[in-house]
Amino acid sequence: MHRHLPLMPGFTIRSYLLYFCTMKSKFENFVKIAWLCLGIGIWIQFFSYQMWVWESLLFSLSFLLVLYPLTTYISKVLLAKAIRQKKMIMFTIKALVASTVSALLIVVLYYVFQYFENIGWFRRSLLFDGEASLLHDFTGAIISVLFINFGFCGLRFFEENLRLRKTLVDTQLEILQAQINPHFMFNVLNHVNVLIRKEPDLASNLLVQYTNILRYQLYNGKKETIDLKQEINFMKDFIEIEKVRWKNNLTVECLWKINDYTQMIPPLLFITFIENAFKHVSRSKQEKGFVKIELKQTIDSLRFHIVNSKFADNSTIKKDTSGIGLANMKARLDILFPNKYSLKIDESLTYYSTILVVNI
């Protein structure tokens, strides 16, 4: 009967992998668990060869001590360097060399434990029963080592991929946020400029109120999340200023159905839709325009509904749908709430309606 070198036991738990890889510290915990599972699998396989329990335990620990340094070096150091420098061919060569060294050390370890059994330190086991060539031992060892090394390289590659994706998402959010903020500031300054010429006193008061809005936008707009109360107060300030701007030409109705004002949400989540509504609402001496806003909170979602009147021949809203403000909002929603939001835009001859539902 020939000796058989153990192969890495197959185990892949994708759900745990995705969870532990979200943060580096958690990923390291997952790698430790992977090593633990590998050690248990190796011990069970050695024990199945009728090894004495303490011998199989000592052999498994020695096996891991031989593997761990070089496997960690390959997967954590060499792979990360190869990805940064884009030298995967050189990495493959170095990984094969390091794996060969590990395989040779494992073969030496096998012969050491075989010697211990021969001199009676351990009870005879089936693992070392019979004779086999050194080539046979090395072939089995190199297969096992390569399987293990490239398995851990796969884990590290997945971690690096998630890290790069997170960096990309963070960069996209920063770019989109930077585009949203100047767009908002442009509208604000344009409103004040118009009023300065017509009603300077009113423009002065509105400028003070706009300062509060811009302060919120400046300090809170770059935060990842803000509590619902602050965001609603920000929207209320903006709406009140718009009501003063348009005086009696508009009817504005707001309904806030909120149970928990401490819920955290991304800042500036609804302001683009409010801006667009006031920008394109119909206004005339014959008939008042209207803007209706409703924000409703449920256990696991927020439903924002805004409707504004429009002229029958108003075609600017449709054009604005693909403009920078709404386009950036859609892109931002895709990043912040992937597959967790719905955006419905409905337009008729007399009104324009937007319904945004986000699952939080």
Instruction: Report pLDDT digits (tens) over 31-52.
Output: 788 888 887 877 777 777 667 7
pTM attached to this predicted model: 0.56
The predicted structure's pLDDT at residue 136: 53
* Contacts within 8 Å (CB) and 24+ apart, 64-69: 64/35, 64/38, 64/39, 66/102, 66/105, 66/106, 66/109, 67/102, 67/106, 67/145, 67/148, 68/35
The predicted structure's pLDDT at residue 307: 96
Q: What rounded mean pLDDT belongs to the chain?
A: 77
For residue range 138-190, list pLDDT tens digits in order: 777 788 888 888 888 887 887 777 776 776 566 666 656 655 556 666 766 77
For residue 119, which amino acid is it? I
Average pLDDT over residues 123-149: 70
Please tell me the chain's helix, strand, coil percentages from 3-state DSSP, rounded to the nearest 5.
65, 15, 20
The predicted structure's pLDDT at residue 139: 78
Cα atoms in the 13 Å half-sphere on the side-chain side of 327: 10
Task: Collapse the DSSP code of 89 into the 3-class scheme (helix H, G, I; strand E, B; otherwise coil) and give the result.
Answer: helix
| Contact criterion met (CB below 8 Å) for 104 and 140 | no
Sequence-distant (6+) residues with CB within 8 A of 207 are 192
The predicted structure's pLDDT at residue 325: 66
Give me the percent of the chain exceeding a pLDDT of 70: 78
For residue range 255-278, list pLDDT tens digits in order: 999 999 999 999 889 988 998 898
β-strand 289-297 against 250-257: which pairing, if any?
A: parallel
| Contact criterion met (CB below 8 Å) for 250 and 287 | no
- Stated as kind and residue range, the H or E segment containing 31 is helix 24-47
